[in-house]
Amino acid sequence: MASRSIDRRSHIAHREAAAAGCVACNDDGADSPRDQRVAARRGGHSSNPRHLTFYICDTRSIRELDVLVTEHGMAMNGIHVAAAVVRLANLLSGPSGGRDARSSHGLMVDEAEAQLLLDKLCRMYVDFCRLGAYPGARQHANVAWAVGKIVCLRLPPGLVDHLVQQVRVMHYSW
């Protein structure tokens, strides 16, 4: 029953985001016949989680990433959250010297906006950990790498301790 209400909320979130002009929701490029049928039933919105991962990784600014996370929060899974944390780290401290973190007008994105996004993503990461959504070490390693790379923002309290705890759990479960 809970799964059905999550699917319904996800569908509603996709429909509202598409109406707002979200690129990810307006994508009708489902790659399998089943995905195409589901997309047709959903008014052209792809149900393929890989599409959302692609759009997360393809964001060009922190503001764009924040909009994507906000509009698709209910549809995101643990892999999406880890990818978004990594993308935020790359946007903040990429090889371009921070140019990726600039808005389309060339102005640096407000640090407070980036901090709020980091806090939101870290809360989502911890929630997914509590749900057991990360069966392997890859997403934990990705998040640990990303928060280590983000030097210009304050890490949410307890995040590093939580990462260490997850590594211990993974280590002793092998």
Q: Where are the domains of the chain?
A: 1-47, 48-173
116 three-state secondary structure: helix
Q: Give residue 87's pLDDT.
A: 96
Q: Give residue 113's pLDDT.
A: 92
Compute the CA torsion angle 74, 79, 84, 89 (nearest 10 deg): 150
d(CA 27, CA 39): 9
Q: Give residue 28's pLDDT.
A: 44
Q: Each residue of 12-43: b (16+ CB within 10 Å) or e?
A: ebbeebbeeebebbebeebeeeebbeebeebe
Q: Give residue 29's pLDDT.
A: 42
Say whether pLDDT at 135 is over 90. Answer: no
**pLDDT > 70 fraction of the chain, expressed in percent and rounded:** 63
| pLDDT tens by residue, 70-118 | 999 899 999 999 999 999 999 997 555 444 444 444 445 578 899 999 9
What is the reported pTM? 0.67
| pLDDT tens by residue, 37-78 | 544 444 444 557 888 999 999 999 999 999 999 999 899 999
**Pair of tokens at residue 121:** 């993503």
